[in-house]
Chains A and B, each alone.
Chain A
Amino acid sequence: MDRFSWTSGLLELGETLVVQQRGVRLCDGEEKVKFDTGVLLLSTHRLIWRDQKNHECCIAVPLSQIVFIEEQAAGIGKSAKIVVHLHPASSNKEPGPFQSSKYSYIKLSFKEHGEIEFYRRLSEEITQRRWENMPTGQTIQVTKDPQAGRIRAVGIVGIERKLEEKRKETDKNISEAFEDLSKLMEKAKEMVELSKSIANKIKEKQGDITEDETIRFKSYLLSMGIANPVTRETHGSGTHYHMQLAKQLAGILQTPLEERGGIMSLTEVYCLVNRARGLELLSPEDLVNACKMLESLKLPLRLRIFDSGVMVIELQSHNEEEMVASALETVSEKGSLTADEFAKLVGMSVLLAKERLLLAEKMGHLCRDDSVEGLRFYPNLFLTQS
């Protein structure tokens, strides 16, 4: 890091900006230094780094000091880096932040990406060595703008300043958004308090509140996204919305279920339904709450939960126990099968194939062979050949 010199950051005549990248940290060899978040600018002549928080802090190193560069790929929790190997500092170098360094290389750490492009451009500039062709020495004219009270520079740096102002403006918008968000949350909090007190009243009364009022209350909670503190056996967490949804699902899922042998996992249903909707998607909870109501609404589908916790939708006409009989036949034919093999044979998802085999085992028709090679099912000869 002792090759760097303090600079104003203004480009010199004949010097052109090539590329710049925000969110770059400088390291002296393997050690971190205080230059941890800055804009890195590559010009035809120099590598310039300016602190994002304190614009006065600006350092640069001439490209002619670079021996060679290498890339260091990103890892888990680590940004991509460029390692820049440098010649020793020349004796007439302008003063900089470090007098000496035990390293002959620095690292540029790209915390906000951009490493690939920057490396490409830096390689180009080092190869082309444009600084040898373009003499520099005179800095650009600067005029102090009395009204704005800041230095107005022309050229690339002026554009850069404008971009910086735009970023500040965006930052301001974000803080406004945060303020508005806080106020909104205060109001939401009041709603939560009110709902708690109503819930308490309902708990105390235990049956003096009408069905109708309970339904109304639940729909208010649904709108606000407040968890339902009152559980009613009749409706669960369901509301009118979920009832409607259940009826819709019965319509939408009839054909897909028939195409898939009468049974689908809930994740399959979630994807199918939401892909079809495109907009106004269902939340996973919406789906589960609606499915819980299928049976009570006497619809032609039902929700079933296996021992493993896997949730499926079945056609009422589908009888998993009957399917077990045919599964047993298939396994017997082949001698033995794993869930994967069975799934491929029958054309089912592996998840549901496994559940069917497990059910067959539970009913006593199959035996398992559990080894490191996998879980394999055999017909239960203990039962049939005793």
Chain B
Amino acid sequence: MHRRGVGAGAIAKKKLAEAKYKERGTVLAEDQLAQMSKQLDMFKTNLEEFASKHKQEIRKNPEFRVQFQDMCATIGVDPLASGKGFWSEMLGVGDFYYELGVQIIEVCLALKHRNGGLIMLEELHQQVLKGRGKFAQDVSQDDLLRAIKKLKVLGNGFGIIPVGGTYLIQSVPAELNMDHTVVLQLAEKKGYVTVSEIRSSLKWETERAKQVLEHLLKEGMAWLDTQAAGEPQYWLPALFTELYAQEITPEEAKEAIP
């Protein structure tokens, strides 16, 4: 009677069997990698063809860019992840958005001392367009938002805060939690807010309202008007529509360029 499964011989056999399985496993992945490499080459060709026909469309047409981005997101592809990606190299989408990123950073830095690092998307849009000059490609607000989303990874505190149907862009690493955001949204209508308004609209206690407003003051995002009739008003320079498209002074520009 043979005893199966014991002894040095059995162990050696088992090891051989395992090794064979391992090999197979590795071979399977190797096969798939080779397949992917081939498909990648084919895809590159398809992309080249697409680029030769429609590259202009992407550069000139903001609507088309939106469609393109949405489709990429749906299938799980990020065309802006790397400058070395096919999308960037062949369609030139990368350069468009990365350069826009630089321009956004510069505008935010230049205006930071005025608004504490908060700026309305409309104002950012106008300032960026001005900086780009008459002959540059048109840039939409959607383009700005996508560029800003990519900038977040640099750790400088870039954030997008929805207010009143549009957005406030944050460009400093100040902590803005839900409470702060909600007060910003309340202030958006008139450009300022008071403690009483917060108490009546949000049903908060005075202490909570005061804390939020003081935080905004400290961060330089709000200014206090103690001479207002009635009670003090907390103004947000970021929301002053009258200040939109005011020229960036040479001193401010110097602050921006490293």
Contacts and interface: CB of A to CB of B under 8 A. Distances in A.
Interface of A: 75-77, 173-174, 177-178, 180-182, 184-185, 187-192, 194-195, 197-198, 201-202, 205, 208-210, 213, 216-217, 220, 222-227, 241, 256, 260, 264-268, 270-272, 274-275, 279-288, 305, 308-311, 349-351, 370-372, 374-375
B94 A281 contact: yes
Interface in B78-123: 78-89, 94-95, 98-99, 101-102, 105-106, 112, 120, 122
A338 B35 CA distance: 60
Contacts of A224: 40, 43, 77, 85-86
Contacts of A189: 75
B117 to A, nearest CB: 10
Task: List the 10 closest A-B pairs by CB distance, nearest first.
Answer: A311-B155, A281-B98, A268-B258, A189-B75, A225-B85, A177-B54, A267-B156, A225-B78, A266-B154, A225-B81
Contact of B36 (A198, A264, A310, A349): A198
Contacts of A209: 26, 29
Interface stretch (B8-16, B65-73, B129-137): B65-73
A286 B84 contact: yes
Contacts of A210: 26
Given A205-B29, A208-B25, A224-B86, 13 more contacts: A76-B164, A178-B64, A184-B47, A192-B75, A224-B43, A226-B77, A256-B258, A266-B155, A270-B105, A271-B258, A285-B81, A311-B156, A351-B172
B76 interface: yes
A287 B154 contact: yes
B205 interface: no
B249 to A, nearest CB: 17
A226 B36 CA distance: 13
Interface in B16-37: 22, 25-26, 28-30, 32-33, 35-37
B209 to A, nearest CB: 14
Contacts of B112: 350
B166 A194 contact: no
Contacts of A280: 83, 89, 95
Contacts of A374: 218, 220
A188 B214 contact: no
B46 A187 contact: yes
Contacts of B35: 194
A66 to B, nearest CB: 30
Contact of B43 (A77, A187, A275): A187
B67 A178 contact: yes
Interface residues of B, number: 76
Interface of B: 22, 25-26, 28-30, 32-33, 35-37, 39-40, 42-44, 46-47, 50, 53-54, 57, 61, 64, 67-68, 71-72, 74-89, 94-95, 98-99, 101-102, 105-106, 112, 120, 122, 150-157, 164-166, 172-173, 214, 217-218, 220, 224, 241, 257-258
Given A283-B80, A375-B218, A274 B98 contact: yes
A198 B152 CA distance: 30
15 contacts: A77-B166, A174-B64, A180-B54, A181-B50, A184-B46, A185-B75, A201-B28, A220-B37, A226-B77, A241-B82, A274-B101, A283-B83, A284-B152, A285-B153, A371-B218
Contact of B33 (A217, A285, A371, A372): A217
A180 B51 CA distance: 10
Contacts of A264: 258
Nearest to B98: A281
A210 B71 CA distance: 34
B258 A174 contact: no
A101 to B, nearest CB: 30
Contacts of B87: 225
Contact of A223 (B29, B54, B76, B84): B84
A86 B74 CA distance: 52
A223 B85 contact: yes
A188 B156 CA distance: 33
B231 to A, nearest CB: 16
Contacts of B83: 280-283, 286
Nearest to A190: B39
Contacts of B40: 191, 220, 223-224
A284 B151 contact: yes
Given A174-B57, A285-B82, A372-B217, A271 B33 contact: no
Nearest to A282: B83
- Point out which of B32, B37, B120, B122 has the most chain A C-beta atoms below 10 A from its C-beta: B32
Contacts of B156: 265-267, 310-311, 351
